[in-house]
Chains A and B, each alone.
Chain A
Amino acid sequence: MSLAFSEDTRARHERMLARYPNREAAILPTLHLAQREFGHLSAEAIAYVASLLGFTPARVEGVATFYTMYNRKPVGKYHLQVCRNLSCSLMGAEHLIEHVAGRLGVRPGETTADGKFTLSTVECLGSCGTAPVMQVNDDYYEDLSEDKVDAILDGLR
């Protein structure tokens, strides 16, 4: 197996394990760590996490595919996740998604040719009070309008 955590990540993982009551509980955070380290969770990455924790790859794959926040395919440098659930939709998310898609020239689920942006639609981001909402990598952008989104995208260029 060629995939492996760096020294640093390995040490972080060791410290992290100590905080969980059992190996099962450590699957989710370990997957997050792996996603950060490897960019996305390939079959190889799943098998690596499984071997780290002492599970079969099937068990880890089962967990990884249940959640939507794990990327099974490579994503661009900026992962744009636009909420399309109820509150955001009431506040115009649909138009926002079309706008972003038009600007980038990709459909939701696709990545721009230069590998910079991946556009995804997601369910409620838990920030309905500031709808519509978009998450870019780890940051939230709230109370969005088309102008605001343009400014954000320009800033990411």
Chain B
Amino acid sequence: MPNFTLNGISVDVPEGTTVLQAAKTVGIEIPHYCYHPNLSIAGNCRMCLVEVEKFPKLQIACNTVVTEGMVVKSDTEKVRQAVTGVLELMLINHPVDCPICDQAGECGLQIYYMKYGLHKSRFAFEDKVHKKKVQDIGGQIVLDAERCILCSRCIRFLQEVTGTSELEFFRRGDHSEISIFPGRPLDNQYTGNLADICPVGALTSKDFRFKCRVWFLRGTRSICPGCANGCNVEAHFKEDIVYRLKPRRNDDVNRTWMCDPGRLEYKKANEARLLTPVVRENGGLKAEAWEAALSFAAFRLWETVEAHGAASVAVIASPAFSNEELYLARKLAEEVLRTPNVGFSPRSSGNGLSDDFLIKADKNPNTRGAQLLGISEEKFDDIVRKIEGGEVKALLVFGNELADFPGERTAELLSRVPFVAQVGTNEGAVSLAAHAVLPSASFVERGGTFTNHAGRVQRFWMGFPPRGNARGGIEILVGLANRLGAGWTFAGEASVFRAIARSEAPFAGMSYESLGELGQIAGGKG
């Protein structure tokens, strides 16, 4: 463990740590553009210059490994002048078109200019070298070549992470320009990350382009619901509309990346939402208050059990729901309705594509959670058979589709059941057939945990309260159970998770505190 001095502070760091990394651990900011924690070191932007005692010239902090007794200063006049100079050089040909740039508000040039620049431009706009703006280079990305500061992060990402090398610097000197080879657009499933790692507005997201100024957005820590990988993300929203997902660093799961399809998962929180409880009676649909809808659903479930016995009732859980919701769904089936019929299917209508990096074929965020909570897949097939045989008289379904069944098959199946209640977030074949639709919160509107394909239990946090009249799944389940006489006292996802940790072996010993931001592997490891 070498010890060194940074701005007069004595710091111990593990062998091999660079000055830039070490500075971060003690809260000292060293400006940088080309350095990225999950990419190789390029050392080409020269923003991270620091003074190192006994070295005649300034050194780059990103590529200077700390050695015993090293004395480093990042707060001297010499460093400040150098950094200002580097910044001025970068801005020589920069168009400074912040008013029409999507990056404004989270731009490395703006941030460092306010901190280290504040110089007057010595170049007239007409003297600048101009390059091509608004180029669709494929994937989710738009390129504005004249905003590029030539840090090479994008090039390294495409070389080291996707291995597809679509982007390169062409020409040299102040004519250097980032671009694709003509006719060879970005061709990989991870292009959205380029907009994240580009420190300026050269690479921006087609999807997010001009939708919202970033300073109006607030964020919440979340988990991508797009597949079983469970990439850690941040969801950015304004009021109750979600605008984008950005990867959140978790080196055990997704490092700082996420896939392109996953990046668009936020749309499910905005579009085709079920926002108010609906009851179908005597052939007509009627929006209802929650009290009435819950009582109606509970009464019909109770009535069916009374008339045909508990085995005539079934619960189809969904791997798109949280561990907490799945646990309560199972508990409702087993302890309140006392039916053996509770199952789920990990099959879904998604494309089923996968790769050897992040994308998993299982398009559900919580299949592993459902399995670990003892909800069975065979039971799902069993329930479907019973529906076909007319044995199921009342059904509680979670989600908007049944396995990977086409809409007609779902409609046909559900038409055989006298009473269907749905807890779901989006419109779909199930909501069209249900007699009671109980609209549940999207992944940004509630908190909970998902268990990813590797058994990692990960928290997601509520960003804003449920839209419209939707409610969290826990609240809906408690409402149903208590109308059936359960007397549950759960309040909030934390209380449900405590119960899971007490009674479910794979989750033993876990708590929201122990999960923290990055999660824990079920079964005690990690």
Residues of chain A having any CB pair with chain B under 8 Å: 43, 46-47, 55-59, 61-62, 65-66
Determine whether B180 belongs to the interface, using a CB cutoff of 8 Å to chain A. Answer: yes
Please report which residues of chain B, range 167-184, place their CB below 8 angstroms from some CB of chain A when the two chains form the complex.
167-172, 179-182, 184
Determine whether B295 belongs to the interface, using a CB cutoff of 8 Å to chain A. Answer: no
List residues of chain B with CB within 8 A of the CB of A57.
181, 184
How many interface residues does chain B have, given as a range? Answer: 10 to 19
Q: 4 tightest A-B contacts by CB? A: A62-B168, A57-B181, A58-B181, A58-B168
Are A55 and B165 touching (Cβ within 8 A)? Answer: yes
A68: nearest chain-B partner, CB-CB: B172
CA distance A4 to B389 in the complex (A): 67
Are B171 and A65 touching (Cβ within 8 A)? Answer: yes
CA distance A8 to B181 in the complex (A): 29
Are A58 and B171 touching (Cβ within 8 A)? Answer: no
Are B181 and A46 touching (Cβ within 8 A)? Answer: yes
Provide a sorted-by-A list of 25 A–B residue pairs whose CB atoms are within 8 angstroms: A43-B181, A43-B182, A47-B181, A56-B164, A56-B165, A56-B166, A56-B181, A56-B184, A57-B181, A57-B184, A58-B166, A58-B167, A58-B168, A58-B179, A58-B180, A59-B165, A59-B168, A61-B170, A62-B168, A62-B169, A62-B170, A65-B170, A65-B171, A65-B172, A66-B169
List residues of chain A with CB within 8 A of the CB of B171.
65-66
CA distance A62 to B180 in the complex (A): 10
Residues of chain B having any CB pair with chain A under 8 Å: 164-172, 179-182, 184
A46: nearest chain-B partner, CB-CB: B181
CA distance A55 to B181 in the complex (A): 12
B332 CB to nearest A CB, Å: 55
B167: nearest chain-A partner, CB-CB: A58
CA distance A47 to B183 in the complex (A): 11
A119 CB to nearest B CB, Å: 21
CA distance A22 to B459 in the complex (A): 46
CA distance A55 to B169 in the complex (A): 15
A61 CB to nearest B CB, Å: 5
B292 CB to nearest A CB, Å: 62
List residues of chain B with CB within 8 A of the CB of A47.
181
List residues of chain A with CB within 8 A of the CB of B182.
43
Query: Which residue from B164, B172, B181, B184 sits with its C-beta under 8 Å from A66?
Result: B172
Among A55, A57, A62, chain B packs the most CB atoms within 10 A around the CB of A62
CA distance A44 to B324 in the complex (A): 58
A67 CB to nearest B CB, Å: 8
List residues of chain B with CB within 8 A of the CB of A65.
170-172
List residues of chain B with CB within 8 A of the CB of A43.
181-182
CA distance A55 to B166 in the complex (A): 10
List residues of chain A with CB within 8 A of the CB of B179.
58
Other contacts beyond A55-B165, A58-B168: 8, CB < 8 A: A56-B184, A57-B181, A58-B166, A58-B167, A62-B169, A62-B170, A65-B170, A66-B171
List residues of chain A with CB within 8 A of the CB of B166.
56, 58
